[in-house]
Homo-oligomer: A and B are copies of this chain.
């Protein structure tokens, strides 16, 4: 990229289907995409070395930066966890859009990165490429964040927005599934597990504190009735699924209080006006009272934007 004086060479590509490919002189991405589209083996790319086992390939080769974007697994975060651990241990910077390892072990992995003098960046794990993690780490540098509250799941916000307009949960969920906003099994979204994972990441990145999933009080939106929504609207409020993390003044064994739950917000709250699939996050700080960032929270292009911003930040460190 000219503006950043950045020349990126992709030397490895790995997928669960194709294994690990490596070519020191660089891979031809359009050629690889063409092979994938034609469902042909990526090993047909000229001059590549190949490992069936991704981790073995990663450990046998090298590189400056690993971009981890395998599927999200909130139970043990594999295979991403092993990929990230292996890369950091080899002194490879890591950028990732994968919520799993960050929700379960962000502090441990950040420490591993520090020990190996490399960066671990994860902008896209919370609100996709909307810059919230870089904002709190760099933009708000020097400010003390006391609390974070946000709308971190687009599916539930889409459903609640439609319900605020008078529609019922089941009908809206069906429509969201048809439009592709909600999965066939919507549990991860509507029961608040996706928002919870992002709350764990914020606990680690904003407060430097490791929370376990069962330390977060979680309530999804399946119990929110049409009548509750209407009553909130009548009272000039909006019900939103809010993830919140608050520093507890009495610093001790439980310095953070974290929740994911439906909350009736007054219209004076910027989060009350965040509609549809948009996400938002409010930071409460000692120097700036409230700062709110509103932006998209999902999408392929949006997720790619976060990885790109992370890559540019890492490149700044590589060029030192």
Contact = CB atoms under 8 A, between A and B. Distances in A.
A288 B300 CA distance: 10
A134 interface: yes
Nearest to A267: B273
A313 interface: yes
Contacts of A138: 131, 134, 138-139, 309, 313
B305 A287 contact: yes
Contact of A1 (B140, B142, B285): B142
Given A139-B131, A139-B309, A309-B139, A287 B301 contact: yes
A72 to B, nearest CB: 21
Contact of A270 (B1, B294, B305, B312): B294
A291 B306 CA distance: 13
Interface residues of A, number: 42
Interface of A is mostly: mixed
Interface in A8-64: none
A121 to B, nearest CB: 11
Interface in A268-320: 268, 270, 273-275, 285, 287-296, 301-302, 304-305, 308-309, 311-313, 320
A162 B95 CA distance: 46
Contacts of A294: 270, 290-294
Contact of A139 (B128, B135, B143): B135
Contacts of A293: 291-294
Contacts of A157: none
A305 B320 contact: no
Given A142-B309, A273-B270, A305-B142, A129 B287 contact: yes
A134 B143 CA distance: 14
A140 B292 contact: no
B291 A142 contact: no
A48 to B, nearest CB: 28
A60 B308 CA distance: 44
Contact of A287 (B135, B287, B302): B302
Nearest to A304: B287
A130 B291 CA distance: 7
A305 B274 CA distance: 27
A117 B11 CA distance: 32
Contacts of A308: 141-143, 287
A285 B130 CA distance: 11
A277 to B, nearest CB: 11
Contacts of A312: 141-142
Given A135-B131, A268-B275, A270-B273, A295 B288 contact: yes
Contacts of A139: 123, 131, 134-135, 138-139, 309
A291 B131 contact: yes
Given A294-B270, A309-B142, A288 B129 contact: yes
7 contacts: A129-B143, A138-B138, A142-B311, A270-B273, A287-B304, A292-B294, A294-B294
Instruction: Give me the 6 closest cross-chain CB pairs, A-B, nearest first.
Output: A131-B139, A287-B305, A142-B308, A291-B295, A141-B312, A292-B294
